[in-house]
Amino acid sequence: MTDRTVITFGTFDVLHVGHLRILERARALGDRLVVGVSSDALNRSKKGRDAVFSQAERLALVGALKVVDDVFVEESLDLKRQYVVSHQAHTLVMGDDWAGRFDFLSDVCEVVYLPRTPSVSTTAIIERITST
Which residues form the interface with ligand C2G (CB under 6 A)? 9-13, 18-19, 22, 38, 46, 74, 77, 94-95, 97, 116-117, 120-121
Residue type, 8: T
C-beta closer to ligand C2G: residue 4 or 116: 116
Give the nearest distance from C-beta 32 to ligand C2G in angstroms.
Answer: 18
CA 17 to chain centre: 13
State the Rg of the chain over Cα. 14
C-beta closer to ligand C2G: residue 4 or 47: 47
Give the DSSP H or E segment for 89: none
- How far is the C-alpha of 14 from the C-alpha of 35, rounded, in Å? 16
- How far is the C-alpha of 29 from the C-alpha of 45, rounded, in Å? 30
C-beta closer to ligand C2G: residue 31 or 45: 45
Give the nearest distance from C-beta 54 to ligand C2G in angstroms.
Answer: 14
Give the nearest distance from C-beta 68 to ligand C2G in angstroms.
Answer: 12
Give the nearest distance from C-beta 2 to ligand C2G in angstroms.
Answer: 25
Q: Cβ-closest residue to ligand C2G? A: 95
C-beta closer to ligand C2G: residue 10 or 30: 10
- How far is the C-alpha of 63 from the C-alpha of 72, rounded, in Å? 9
- How far is the C-alpha of 6 from the C-alpha of 47, rounded, in Å? 25
